[in-house]
Amino acid sequence: MPELPEVETVRMGLLPVMEGRVIETAQVNREGLRWPFPPQMAQRLTGARVLGLRRRSKYILGDLDTGETLLIHLGMSGRMLISGAMLGAFHHDHPAPQKHDHVVLMMEGGARVTFNDARRFGAMDLMATGAAEAHPLLAPLGPEPLGNGFSESYLAGRLAGKATPVKSALLDQHIVAGLGNIYVCEVLHRAGISPLRLARDLTSQEAARLVPLIREVLAEAIAAGGSSLRDYRQADGELGYFQHNFRVYDREGAPCPTPGCPGTILRTVQAGRSSFHCPDCQR
């Protein structure tokens, strides 16, 4: 599933063709994806101007001049694909319609934005902009890891006394929004903390040290266009490149990249997810 860097990369890719522009025509090709689409979604989107595109956790939010906000979640395999526009130095012509093109937005200026989702775990919804933060998918979320509400004292306080592995705690969207399996593995390796340690056993200094490392890893991943492992693509169809910088994720059996460490990357399963870490330098 795309994590925060991938979603932020998609949002930035959509900005030039969506922000400030009118959705001239919206075409909805099915009744829903993971959940049903809102009633009359095509009619409610057609003619609306996109005032801004923002991100909350792993959701893209498009604020419209109709007083509504379009919520987009990419799910496991969802892609927002742009055609008919100049993206960088290249013009992407409109491709032939595909089987899994579920929502198509024809934008002012000639661009087409297509929500393609082969596995159909994605979602779209419309809600009143003023009540967006109360939406059931957004209301329970913790602070953004790149925002001011996510601080060393906040994280140390949330981890204190928590009898779950630190990796599970960092994946808890109620504690911090947007982190996923890939980037938590990478953060914990940089911090020298085993994903198997209980959150309550971290010192306040160790917990605090995680905050700048989380921001560092996310910033590097965004700059690289995210990580492409299976389905993820940027809005222009290009791959992300951060997977080439993985230190531990999906590197089982490889030597630890920490200078001077003789360890080998191990894979363990926690709560049904693969964890990758070096047992020698992550304690």
pLDDT tens digits, one per residue of 87-108:
554 556 777 778 899 999 999 9
User: Who has greater pLDDT, 92 or 10?
Assistant: 10
Q: Is 2 a catalytic residue?
A: yes
Query: Among residues 11, 55, 56, 58, which one is catalytic?
Result: 58
Over residues 159-188, the mean pLDDT reads 96
Q: Is 140 a catalytic residue?
A: no
Phi, psi of 103 (to 5 degrees): -135, 130
Listed in order, the ranges of the chain carrying CATH 1.10.8.50 are: 152-277
What does the pLDDT read at residue 239?
56
Q: Please tell me the least confidently modeled range out of 138-152, 198-212, 227-241.
A: 227-241
Listed in order, the ranges of the chain carrying CATH 3.20.190.10 are: 4-134
Q: Is 58 a catalytic residue?
A: yes
How far is the CA of 74 from the CAs of 195, 224, 233, in angstroms?
Answer: 27, 19, 11
Over residues 55-61, the mean pLDDT reads 97
Query: Among residues 49, 238, 273, 279, which one is catalytic?
Result: 273
Residue 208 pLDDT class (50, 70, 90 cuts): very high
How far is the CA of 203 from the CAs of 100, 210, 228, in angstroms?
Answer: 48, 11, 34
What does the pLDDT read at residue 244?
77
Q: Which of 283, 95, 78 is nearest to 196 (CA)?
A: 283
What's the mean pLDDT when you consider all of the chain? 92
User: Who has greater pLDDT, 126 or 94?
Assistant: 126
Domain 152-277 has CATH 1.10.8.50: yes
What is the distance in angstroms between the CA of the first residue and the CA of the last residue of the chain?
28
In percent, how much of the chain has pLDDT > 90? 82
What does the pLDDT read at residue 98?
81
Over residues 225-254, the mean pLDDT reads 74
Pick the CATH number of 4-134 from 3.40.50.12780, 3.40.630.40, 3.20.20.140, 3.20.190.10: 3.20.190.10
Q: Is 273 a catalytic residue?
A: yes
Given a cut of 60, whether residue 35 has pLDDT beyond it is yes
DSSP 3-state percent helix, strand, coil across the chain (nearest 5): 30, 25, 45
What does the pLDDT read at residue 89?
46
